[in-house]
Amino acid sequence: MANDILRVLYRGVVKVGIIASRLRALQDKQWAKGMEDRLGAGRWEQLTATDLVWIHCASVGELNGIIPLLTELKEILPAQKVLLTTTSITGQAEIEKKSLSPHHCLLPFDSYSVVKKIVKRIKPRLFVVSETELWPNLIERLAKEKVPLMLINGRISNYSFPRYRWARNYFAPLLNRFAHLLVQTEVDKERFLAIGASADKIVRAGCTKYDKPAPQFSAAELTKVKQEFGMSSEQVTFVAGSVRPGEEKIVIETFKALLDKHKNFQMIIAPRHADQYEPICEMLKSYGLNIHRRSNGPVVGSVDVLLLDTMGELAKTYALCDFAFVGGSLVDIGGHNPFESAAYGKPVVMGKYVNNVREIALDLQQQGGMQIVQDASAYVAAIEKLLTDEEYRQSAGAKALTVWQKHQGATKQVCAIIKSYLE
């Protein structure tokens, strides 16, 4: 009875969502661009390839997480066509920018008539969804057409878990339509079991995004970048990467306080989003710090802080720095990927909000490659220890690298299962 009510409610939500989207498209030109795809027309009607492997990712983050998988598939199954779908327009732009696949569309609305038309037309060989995007009508239709379903990089956040558990009787049949549920961590495995997934379908496989190789730079390139960034071998360089609003004040105040005590200290601060560049620049100036914006070209002389207000250069700073803070963790965002720094053998500091990367964060902490701090005062202590204790810094960096190496391999496991279906 409860499930019937939920189904009726869901159908109503889908109908209301379609109406709201049509109205939004009348005023939002960007949103209007995707309406044809979302209604099962547009690029769906232009799609002539069949027997595709259909891989769905919500947006840019999930797409970047499957790049190692796409690379591996091209190597082991070079003739296999892949269809990539996203729920966001920015995701589609990322596919085009990185040439991830010539076949890509926005995911349609989860209307039964729309998904029925699409599935019958393209006849996918396999459907793979990254993380936990459960679209009931799409799943039911794919299962009815006997298309194998796989979930990879599966995770259930602290925020979502209570809702999934509350609607367990509704989600359990959907999850059990999947042939394989490849989850990231032991905690995720327990949560999938708690919401009704069959134990024989769940495999703890890790996450393919951690198989993405760290960008490599030649010695000559790093020397050039070091000069342009104004980095000195006589100073300890700290990178505050992917800093989110609410964190910048703690990061900047801590740096300023420690710089007053330790003159051999410099910082590179990299905001997560471009709209933070100006506010952070003004805040740095308000503390009387000597700053340089990377967008203004190479540093001339020496500076206290380099504001990294350009795209695509954060990896270089991690490769060159002595230690790093990874943001989205002093505020309740869930934490960004600490392996971006650990892959270069650099120790990491993060705040307590690491739900998005909980297993690797805890592993890094337990193995001594990272400090997870509970508050601002603990953050200051962690930064000062890394600044002043070179032996500790070197040891922690080596341990961080070892943990990163240990977490490689999810892509091979995922590809082996995919290949077993396609052969």
Number of other residues whose CB lies within 10 A of the CB of residue 80: 16
Q: Which residue has the tokens 């892509």?
A: 411
Instruction: Name the nearest CA neighbour of 194 among 162, 146, 151.
Output: 162
Q: What's the CA gap between 123 and 73, in Å, rounded?
A: 20
Q: Is residue 321 within 8 Å of 241, Cβ to Cβ?
A: no
Catalytic residue among 36, 45, 62, 131: 62
Q: What's the CA gap between 205 and 183, in Å, rounded?
A: 6
Strand order through the sheet with 265-271: 291-293, 305-307, 265-271, 236-243, 323-326, 348-350, 370-372
Q: How many CA atoms does the CB half-sphere of 110 hold within 13 Å?
A: 17
Q: Is residue 103 within 8 Å of 122, Cβ to Cβ?
A: no
Active-site annotation holds for 62: yes
Q: Is residue 178 within 8 Å of 150, Cβ to Cβ?
A: yes
Cβ-count burial of 159 within 10 angstroms (0-12 exposed, 13-18 middle, 19+ buried)? exposed
Number of other residues whose CB lies within 10 A of the CB of residue 20: 10
Number of other residues whose CB lies within 10 A of the CB of residue 349: 26
Q: What is the phi-psi region of residue 178: left when phi exceeds 0, alpha when psi lies from -120 to 50, beta otherwise? A: beta
Structure-block tokens of residue 96 = 């085009």
Instruction: Name the nearest CA neighbour of 372 among 400, 411, 394.
Output: 400
Structure-block tokens of residue 364 = 């890094």
Please give the positions annotated as active site. 62
